[in-house]
């Protein structure tokens, strides 16, 4: 089967597009929670994390920018998490709740591969634009299927470790440090491999169409 010529996007362009969203959704909340816990304690940190999500929604509404459905769901989820944590007085429930959702998401990743609709491809398109010719190429389709499997197991492993630490650690500060370190190590390795594999398949496609 002959594939049409592929115009390959530069990885630096992809990174510049994705970085602001990753900063807002991942890095900033983590920094806010750590800083707030040090300054005002755990309850203040919970409210700070809640406030950050609502600030993101309010900022988009003020600028008349469409609020992504995922952000609205995140706002609802963190509101419920915060309410349950205050109602029960358990910090463990605050941190375990999203891990249960992550486990479900891990199985959704697995099912998406079985249905030949790898979820990593859809999530990637939420952050960056990829040419349709590139997405239809057989090598790229195999890449997204394999990377989706990889991230399914990463999500399941991260959640398992996080829940184990939440159950066995007595202090939320220690839990956050250990959990962040473990998740960062596993996710970092997966990110490195994903980028390496993506560059490799792009190079092969580029050679094939020169």
Residue 3 covered by a domain: no
In total, how many domains does the chain have?
A: 2
Q: Same domain for 104 and 199?
A: yes
Q: Tell me what the mean pLDDT of segment 38-52 comes to.
A: 84
pLDDT at 128: 65
Q: Tell me what the mean pLDDT of segment 100-127 comes to.
A: 86
Q: Tell me what the mean pLDDT of segment 23-42 comes to.
A: 76
Residue 118 covered by a domain: yes
By residue count, the chain amounts to 210
Compute the mean pLDDT over every residue in the chain, rounded to the nearest whole number.
Answer: 81
Q: Tell me what the mean pLDDT of segment 80-107 comes to.
A: 85
Is 1's pLDDT higher than 50?
Answer: no
Q: Same domain for 70 and 121?
A: no
Query: End of a domain among 35, 68, 88?
Result: 88
Report the share of the chain in percent with pLDDT over 70: 83
Residue 56 covered by a domain: yes
25 or 31: which leads in pLDDT: 31
Residue 134's domain comprises: 90-210
Instruction: Please report the DSSP string for 154-205 in residue order.
Output: HHHHHHHHHHHHHHH-S-HHHHHHHHHHHHHHHHHHHHHHHHHHHHHHHHHH
Q: Same domain for 64 and 118?
A: no
Is 6's pLDDT higher than 60?
Answer: no
Q: Cα 120 to chain center, whole Å?
A: 10
> ∠ at Cα 50 (49, 52), nearest 5°?
65
Q: Same domain for 29 and 130?
A: no
Q: Same domain for 181 and 200?
A: yes
Q: Hey, is 77 helix, strand or coil?
A: helix
Chain segment 191-207, per-residue pLDDT in tens: 889 888 888 887 787 65
- By CB atoms closer than 10 A (0-12, 13-18, 19+), residue 33 is buried
> ∠ at Cα 95 (153, 170), nearest 5°?
110
Confidence of residue 156 (pLDDT cuts 50, 70, 90): very high
Q: Same domain for 77 and 96?
A: no
Q: Same domain for 104 and 191?
A: yes
Confidence of residue 155 (pLDDT cuts 50, 70, 90): very high
List alpha helices for the chain, DSSP H. Answer: 11-22, 28-62, 69-88, 91-114, 119-127, 132-136, 138-168, 172-208
Q: Same domain for 61 and 98?
A: no
Q: Same domain for 20 and 74?
A: yes
pLDDT at 208: 56
Q: Same domain for 110 and 147?
A: yes
8, 205 contact by CB (below 8 A): yes
The closest alpha carbon to 175, from 89, 93, 106, 59, belongs to 93
Confidence of residue 18 (pLDDT cuts 50, 70, 90): low
Residues 6 or more apart whose CB falls under 8 angstroms from that of 133 comprise: 3, 4, 5, 6, 7
Residue 5 covered by a domain: no
Residue 158 covered by a domain: yes
pLDDT at 107: 93
Q: Same domain for 202 and 101?
A: yes
Query: End of a domain among 58, 88, 118?
Result: 88
């Amino acid at each position: 089967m002959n594939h049409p010529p592929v115009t390959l996007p530069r990885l630096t362009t992809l990174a510049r597009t994705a970085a602001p969203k990753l900063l807002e959704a991942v890095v900033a909340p983590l920094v806010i929670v750590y800083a707030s816990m040090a300054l005002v304690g755990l309850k203040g940190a919970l409210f700070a994390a809640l406030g950050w999500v609502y600030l993101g929604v309010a900022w988009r509404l003020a600028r008349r920018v469409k609020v992504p459905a995922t952000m609205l769901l995140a706002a609802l989820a963190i509101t419920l998490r915060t309410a349950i944590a205050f109602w029960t007085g358990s910090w463990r429930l605050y941190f375990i709740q999203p891990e249960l959702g992550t486990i479900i998401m891990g199985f959704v990743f697995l099912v998406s591969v079985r249905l030949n609709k790898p979820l990593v491809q859809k999530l990637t398109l939420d952050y960056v634009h990829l040419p349709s010719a590139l997405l239809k190429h057989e090598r790229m389709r195999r890449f997204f299927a394999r990377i989706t499997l990889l991230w399914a197991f990463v999500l399941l492993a991260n959640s398992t470790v996080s829940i184990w630490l939440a159950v066995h650690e007595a202090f939320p500060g220690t839990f956050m440090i250990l959990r962040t370190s473990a998740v960062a190590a596993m996710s970092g390795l997966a990110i490195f491999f994903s980028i390496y594999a993506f560059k490799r398949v792009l190079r092969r496609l580029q050679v094939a169409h020169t």
